Structure 1
Amino acid sequence: MTQGTDPSGGPAQPGSLNPYERLGITPDASFDAVQAAKQARLAEVGEEPMARARIEAAYDAVLMDRLKERQQGKVSTAALNASQREAAKPAAAASAAKPSLPSLPNLPALPRPALKLSAPALPTVALAEGRERWFPLAGGAVLLAMLLIAPAGNAELVLAFATVLTVVNLQRRLGRLLPAVGWSVLLLSLGLLLGGLLVSAIDPSLPLGLPLASPQVQSLPALLLLLLGALLIA
């Protein structure tokens, strides 16, 4: 190979190409592009001394041209781009060096509680079986005897024992303490109300020959209602 080649691939005539054309670059090419173009042209001509000398001369001419521009205060586009890249490097390095704060995990959305208001279910009326039957019957009989025989001042104590007996038996049948207490209190209140009406309507001396005081007469309906509730509410 006796001659170099121009960027278009044809034979290069000595003196026919300026340094930029010989290297295949534009005047605003960066320094890295000039270096890469030089190496590419040298690789194209191989070991041809004349061609390599022309490429080296073109490379030196480009460098001298760039040096003259700097001395004259002219800043080429390539130099301006290089300056901008150099200025951007410290900012990028500072951004990379700055530790990034870990992002907080997104909290899962809490489900809104659905309020379901349902009407209270009425109890089922069914006669108790087994222990739930004989326990209130035996306890009610004893309490009834105490109410009729004991002094009138013990009527409140008898109703207290009857209420506890009803709560225990209903808790076994219903399986829940709160409804058992609620129904027992309701039966006690209703019984006392009926007893008050009974006391105001009739003479407390009953035809059985058992003189009863007003507290005993008023407590009798409440005791009976508590006993019936313990046997029937399920």
Structure 2
Amino acid sequence: MNQGPDSSSTGSQPSPYERLGIETGASFEAVQAAKQARLEEVGENPQARAQLEAAYDAVLMDRLKERQQGKVSTAALNASAREAKAPAAAAAARPSLPSLPKLPALPKASLPSSSFSLPSLELAEGQQRWLPLGGFAALTLLLLFTPASSAELVLALATLFSVVLLQRRNRRFLQAVGFSVLLLSLGLGLGALLLQVLDPSLPLGLPLDAHQVQSLPALLLLLLGALLIA
């Protein structure tokens, strides 16, 4: 059995490690277990128990000196190696779970853009040309040959008709409403200017009320918008 660090200085006396019956590289748990075993062996002999306690204290002092000098005992190295191997062994013993199948990537939902963009001007063809011409011609006749009080109703019908035509052409309802209201407002503004510079009467002796004169530019702009705004 290996002798402890103090064996050379004690002569024929057993070293603390020999007295406890352990090796110099024994772990702390082994030192405690050896001490308990030796105490049980000597029973109630006070001298033997005192020698075992002294040997135990000497071993602890040796371990404290080694730690202060930066030395690592064999037991500490073995314990570190066991701790390093423990996670790897646990991971190897753990059963591998089956991998979940990957979900297919969902296509990104494209939301329709609600931004208001400038229109492109292009003359309508076919039915998209003749339908506005016929409809606004009928509305103009209705404006000219009905009482002046019906001018607001004619403008409301013309604006609604313009919204329908623009929505059918560019498939954007909000833009169709916006352009129709804008053209109506511009037309009414031009009509107000006409009332200041023109005599509110047309050739062929057809007298027109001020509301009818102001409504004519609005009908014209709504027609042009339905024919040109793409």
**TM band (smaller chain):** 0.5 to 0.7
Q: Secondary structure at the match of 1:126?
A: coil
Q: CA deviation at 1:134?
A: 2.2
Q: Which residue of 2 aligns with 1:207?
A: 203
- Return closer, same or farther for 1:200/1:77 CA change in 2, 3 Å cut-off: farther
Q: Which moved more, 1:218-227 or 1:123-132?
A: 123-132
Alignment pair present for 1:155 and 2:151: yes
TM superposition shift of 1:137? 1.5
Please give the residue correspondences for 1:79-158 in structure 2 after superposition, counting only pairs within 5 Å: 121-158=117-154
The answer on whether the counterparts of 2:194 and 2:213 sit within 8 Å (CA) in structure 1 is yes
| Identity score, percent | 51
> Counterpart of 1:68?
50
1:76 aligned partner, one-letter code: D
Matched position secondary structure for 2:196 = helix
Deviates more, 1:153-162 or 1:169-178: 169-178
Query: TM-score of the superposition, structure 2-length normalised?
Result: 0.57
> Is the contact between residue 22 and residue 31 of structure 2 (CA under 8 Å) also seen in structure 1?
no
Gapped regions of structure 1 (runs ≥ 5): 1-5, 9-15, 37-55, 82-118
2:163 paired with 1:167: yes
Find out whether 1:227 has 2:212 as its counterpart: no
2:13 corresponding residue in structure 1: 18
| Cα shift at 1:211 | 1.0
Alpha-carbon separation, structure 2, partners of 1:215 and 1:180: 25
Structure 2 CA distance for aligned equivalents of residues 202 and 217 of structure 1:
9
Give the CA RMSD over aligned residues. 3.9
2:50 maps to a residue whose letter is K
User: Take 1:174 and 1:221, find their aligned partners in 2: how far apart are those partners?
Assistant: 24
Amino acid at match of 2:30: D
Aligned-residue offset at 1:120: 5.5
| One-letter identity of the residue aligned with 1:143 | L
Contact 2:200 2:208 in 1 (8 A): yes
1:32 aligns with one of 30, 33, 37: 30
CA contact (8 A) 2:116 2:175 kept: no
Task: State the TM-score, normalizing by the size of structure 1.
Answer: 0.57
Amino acid at match of 1:165: F
Structure 2: which 5+ runs fail to align? 4-10, 64-114
Deviation by residue 1:117-173 (Cα, 9 ceiling, x = unmatched): xx9642111111233222212211110110010000000000000000111111111
Mapped partners of 1:128, 1:29: distance in 2: 97
